[in-house]
Chains A and B, each alone.
Chain A
Amino acid sequence: LAKTTQPISMDSYEGQEVNITCSHNNIATNDYITWYQQFPSQGPRFIIQGYKTKVTNEVASLFIPADRKSSTLSLPRVSLSDTAVYYCLVGLNYGGSQGNLIFGKGTKLSVKP
């Protein structure tokens, strides 16, 4: 499974747009890119997943360039409650036996008033 690299921490202010970029140079053809969010003392929560180009849901957007060697999670108009650790994961869209997710250290986002 491809290794990911993302910034250890980021600071932002309420109302700003936050973009967190993740590098995954060794991504394989079948790999999907998934982002999870984790608040202190809670389990991670799925945010968004994509394969290429752009994906948008009610929470975030995910931008994936044509070479797929990186991806950017975009959080529009963050609030204090978006303070959390954000994990970028790359792995198989499985239907078989490969089930484990590989988490790096994530990006600790701190949103200030």
Chain B
Amino acid sequence: NAGVMQNPRHLVRRRGQEARLRCSPMKGHSHVYWYRQLPEEGLKFMVYLQKENIIDESGMPKERFSAEFPKEGPSILRIQQVVRGDSAAYFCASSPSAGSSYNEQFFGPGTRLTVL
């Protein structure tokens, strides 16, 4: 059973370009979470999605950032008009359906975004 997959692993963009980060959850997982990690910092929650629904986006910046988890295909985190401050590691995690006994989240390897 493959783990959480993220691609690309590394992404370089120039200021003003768009960045699209993809996350495929573990098989059978319908809950996806996105986190951002700056150097020497802990992960910061961004958004929590279930299939076709955004459950909690309280950690998402109000502008330029959006996320989706369509019925088919991976979850996408989209950053429009990137700025240098967006440079970070972005981690995706997934968990089983609601009703699991505890909130273990399985993390992907991350996408490291560098904005030039």
Contact = CB atoms under 8 A, between A and B. Distances in A.
Interface of A: 32, 34, 41-46, 49, 87, 91-106
Contact of A46 (B41, B42, B105, B110): B105
Contacts of B91: 43-44
B103 A42 contact: no
Interface of B: 4, 31, 33, 35, 40-45, 48, 55-56, 58-59, 91, 93, 95, 98-110, 112
From DSSP, what is the main secondary structure of chain A's interface residues? loop
A111 B112 CA distance: 26
A99 B100 contact: no
A99 B31 contact: yes
A43 B108 contact: yes
Contacts of B103: 32, 34, 49, 91-94, 99, 101
A102 B55 CA distance: 16
B93 A43 contact: yes
B102 A45 contact: no
Given A95-B99, A99-B56, A46 B45 contact: no
A44 B4 CA distance: 12
Contacts of A87: 42
B106 A105 contact: no
B5 to A, nearest CB: 11
